[in-house]
Amino acid sequence: MSEPKRRWPGSVYDHGSEPDPRFSLANERTFLAWVRTGLALLAGAAALDALDLPLDDTVQYLLAALLGLAGLLVSLTAYRGWARTERAMRESTALPSNPAMVVVIATVAVVGLAIGVSSLLRGLGS
């Protein structure tokens, strides 16, 4: 009989025992939702960069860069969150928190506030 194939990443699958597949699949769906969030942030960055909005050019480009960076960070932390959660389930330990939430909340708050204030100031100045 042949040896079973090893699964990647070993840092996750080489520990503990197989959890209920429903939990692993739910963890994977959560990972994919975070990746979609990262893609949405990148799409927002591209839109801010491409559109002619009533914002100062420097502000607009800084906000686009912030959204792009947040999209990258969320996508990278999504993988880390998936791996940490999967390993915790396999080892029957407490599930970890997800720092990507803080990145998304802070970014959306800063960009929303900057766009709102900038638009209000432009409107009052007209």
Domain range for 61 is: 18-125
Is 4 a member of any domain?
A: no
Is 10 a member of any domain?
A: no
Q: What is the mean pLDDT of residues 76-94?
A: 94
Is 81 a member of any domain?
A: yes
Is 94 a member of any domain?
A: yes
pLDDT-above-90 percentage for the chain: 56
pLDDT at res. 1: 52
Q: What is the mean pLDDT of residues 38-46?
A: 95
pLDDT reading at 33 higher than 70: yes
Q: What is the mean pLDDT of residues 6-13?
A: 85
Q: What is the pTM of this model?
A: 0.81
**To which residue do tokens 């900038």 refer?**
118
pLDDT reading at 67 higher than 60: yes
Is 11 a member of any domain?
A: no
pLDDT at res. 74: 92
